């Protein structure tokens, strides 16, 4: 799937935000920190996936130019 890392990264960001907010509501600093870390991890994964996809698209476009 071309967008797999982007989608998984976005999911981690959402899950991290939920944990962070739940930690704030319950006063659990550990849960807040865990959520923040998960958000960051998701953000990195999403951006890496986006970069990987763009490189793949550029290679495909170059291949089409060479073939056509």
Q: 51 vs 14, 23, 45, 54, 57, CA distance in Å?
A: 20, 32, 10, 5, 10
Note the pTM of the prediction, 2 decimals. 0.83
Per-residue pLDDT of the chain (68 residues; tens, 9 = 90+): 789 999 999 999 999 999 999 999 999 999 999 999 999 999 999 999 999 999 999 999 999 889 97
**Would you kindly state where each structural domain of the chain is located, as residue ranges?**
4-67
Give backbone dihedrals phi and psi of 3, rounded to 5 degrees, phi first: -105, 15
How far is the C-alpha of 28 from the C-alpha of 43, rounded, in Å? 23
* Number of helices and strands in the chain (H, E): 2, 0
pLDDT score recorded for residue 2: 80
């Amino acid at each position: 799937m071309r967008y797999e890392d982007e989608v998984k990264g976005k999911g981690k960001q959402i899950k991290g935000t939920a944990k962070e907010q739940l930690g704030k509501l319950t006063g659990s600093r550990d849960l807040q920190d865990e959520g923040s870390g998960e958000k960051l991890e998701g953000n990195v994964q999403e951006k890496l996936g986006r970069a990987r996809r763009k490189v793949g698209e550029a290679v495909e476009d170059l291949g089409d130019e060479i073939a056509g």
